[in-house]
Amino acid sequence: DTGVSQDPRHKITKRGQNVTFRCDPISEHNRLYWYRQTLGQGPEFLTYFQNEAQLEKSRLLSDRFSAERPKGSFSTLEIQRTEQGDSAMYLCASSLEGGSEAFFGQGTRLTVV
Amino acid sequence: DQQVKQNSPSLSVQEGRISILNCDYTNSMFDYFLWYKKYPAEGPTFLISISSIKDKNEDGRFTVFLNKSAKHLSLHIVPSQPGDSAVYFCAAIENSGYALNFGKGTSLLVTP
pLDDT tens track for A51-110: 988 888 888 889 999 999 988 899 999 999 999 999 999 999 999 887 778 999 999 999
CA distance B80 to chain A (A): 23
Question: What pLDDT score does B95 carry?
Answer: 83
Chain A residue with CA closest to B44: the answer is A104
Question: What pLDDT score does B55 carry?
Answer: 95
Q: Which of B42, B44, B49 sits opposite A43 (nearest CB)?
A: B44
Cβ of residue B36 closer than 8 Å to a chain A Cβ? yes
Question: What pLDDT score does A89 carry?
Answer: 96
Query: Most B CBs within 10 Å: which of A4, A31, A59, A101, as the mutation test of the B interface?
Result: A101
Question: What pLDDT score does A72 carry?
Answer: 84
CA distance A83 to chain B (A): 22
CA distance B24 to chain A (A): 14
Question: What pLDDT score does A59 carry?
Answer: 84
Asked whether the beta carbons of B57 and B48 are under 8 A apart, the reply is: yes
Summarised one tens digit per residue, pLDDT across range B92-103 is 999 878 899 999
Q: Is the pLDDT of residue B82 over 90?
A: yes
As a whole number of angstroms, the distance between CA B2 and CA B102 comes to 8
Question: What pLDDT score does A98 carry?
Answer: 73
Question: Is the Cβ pair A105, B93 closer than 8 Å?
Answer: no
Q: What is the mean pLDDT of residues B69-93?
A: 97
Q: Is the pLDDT of residue B71 over 80?
A: yes
Q: Which of A31, A45, A106 sits opposite B42 (nearest CB)?
A: A106
Q: Is the pLDDT of residue A1 over 60?
A: no
Summarised one tens digit per residue, pLDDT across range B20-57 is 999 999 999 999 999 999 998 889 999 999 999 999 99
Asked whether the beta carbons of A5 and A72 are under 8 A apart, the reply is: no
B86-94 and B101-102 as β-strands: parallel, antiparallel, unpaired?
antiparallel
| pLDDT bracket for residue A32 (50, 70, 90) | very high
Q: CA nearest A83: which of A107, A63, A111? A: A111
A75-79 and A19-24 as β-strands: parallel, antiparallel, unpaired?
antiparallel
Neighbours of B85 (CB within 10 A): 18
Question: Is the Cβ pair B89, A43 closer than 8 Å?
Answer: yes
Asked whether the beta carbons of A36 and A21 are under 8 A apart, the reply is: no
